[in-house]
């Protein structure tokens, strides 16, 4: 699942936890991916690396990315720990109160749950290299049941992402309004554009030229996450909670 898919969950949670600023929820929805970027980038050259993945070359589509060892960023308990860490950082700066912890717990945990629906057999419950891997939620290839939806049927994985994302925004727009219809239209076009930008990674051959190494994949994931997050924040910040 790409940046727009995970970031959409922030708007679903925002509709229920209106006091939490959307920028905090956007960070919460992708904090797991940010840890993944740092650990796979490995700027301190830790040996052996704490996490590592592999891309099949020539890279064709999202199914050519193999998460070989991701016990800390992409385990359920690891995500919970990362979420607690993020909340405590925000709490230290008095951005949040304890009453808002549930919102953070939900938005951070959503990352693992969404990945579980489309990933291969590469996720874990516990943050340990020896922990048993789980998934996929749905196997469409009886000859290789370890492959998830995004690998076996990438366009179906894309469709799931789009449907989930649009549902999140639909719920959000029932609870929040734009005073100016132009701002609402801009927000709509940003959402549409971000979905269009996410399509190439699901189309075989569309990203072959750009992804020629593991580091290129890490960089693209980072840029996608940051760009989508900034755009969604900027064009949604004028939305106000609807009055009864």
Q: Percentage of the chain with pLDDT > 70?
A: 100
Residue with tokens 């064709």: 60
Q: Percentage of the chain with pLDDT > 90?
A: 96
Is residue 73 pLDDT above 80, yes or no? yes
Q: What is the pLDDT of residues 212-232, one digit of tens each?
A: 999 999 999 999 999 999 999
Prior bond of 136 cis (ω within 30°): yes
Q: How high is the mean pLDDT of the chain? A: 96
Q: How confident is the model at residue 244 (pLDDT cuts 50, 70, 90)?
A: low
Phi, psi (rounded to 5 degrees) for 27: -65, -45
**Mean pLDDT score, 19-48:** 96
Annotate 190-218 with b (16+ C-beta within 10 A) or e (fewer).
Answer: bbeebbebbeebbeeeebeeebeebeebb
Q: What is the pLDDT of residues 42-53, one digit of tens each?
A: 999 999 999 999
Q: How confident is the model at residue 242 (pLDDT cuts 50, 70, 90)?
A: confident
How far is it, in rounded angstroms, from Cα 188 to Cα 165?
Answer: 12
How far is it, in rounded angstroms, from Cα 153 to Cα 29?
Answer: 25
Domain residue ranges of the chain, discontinuous segments joined by +: 3-241
**Mean pLDDT score, 72-100:** 94
Q: How confident is the model at residue 243 (pLDDT cuts 50, 70, 90)?
A: confident
The string of DSSP codes covering 59-70 is: --SGGGEEEEE-
**Mean pLDDT score, 190-217:** 97
pTM beyond cutoff 0.85? yes
């Amino acid at each position: 699942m790409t940046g727009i898919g995970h970031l959409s969950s922030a708007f679903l949670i925002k509709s229920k936890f209106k006091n939490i600023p959307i920028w905090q929820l956007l960070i919460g929805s992708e904090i797991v991916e940010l840890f993944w970027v740092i650990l796979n980038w490995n700027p301190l050259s830790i040996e052996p690396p704490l996490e590592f993945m592999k891309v099949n070359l020539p890279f064709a589509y999202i199914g050519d990315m193999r998460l070989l060892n991701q016990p800390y960023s992409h385990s359920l308990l690891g995500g919970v720990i990362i979420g607690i860490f993020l909340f405590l950082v925000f709490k230290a700066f008095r951005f949040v109160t304890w009453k808002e912890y549930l919102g953070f717990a939900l938005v951070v945990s959503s990352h693992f749950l969404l990945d579980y629906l489309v990933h291969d057999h590469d996720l874990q419950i516990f943050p340990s290299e020896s922990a048993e891997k789980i998934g996929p939620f749905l196997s469409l290839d009886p000859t290789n049941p370890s492959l998830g939806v995004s690998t076996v049927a990438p366009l179906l994985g894309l469709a799931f992402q789009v449907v989930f994302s649009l549902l999140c925004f639909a719920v959000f727009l029932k609870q929040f309004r734009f005073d100016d219809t132009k701002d609402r239209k801009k927000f709509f076009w940003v959402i549409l554009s971000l979905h269009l930008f996410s399509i190439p990674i699901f189309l075989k051959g569309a990203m072959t030229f750009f992804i020629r190494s593991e580091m290129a994949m890490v960089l693209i994931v980072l840029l996608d996450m940051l760009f989508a997050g900034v755009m969604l924040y900027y064009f949604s910040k004028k939305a106000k909670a609807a009055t009864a």
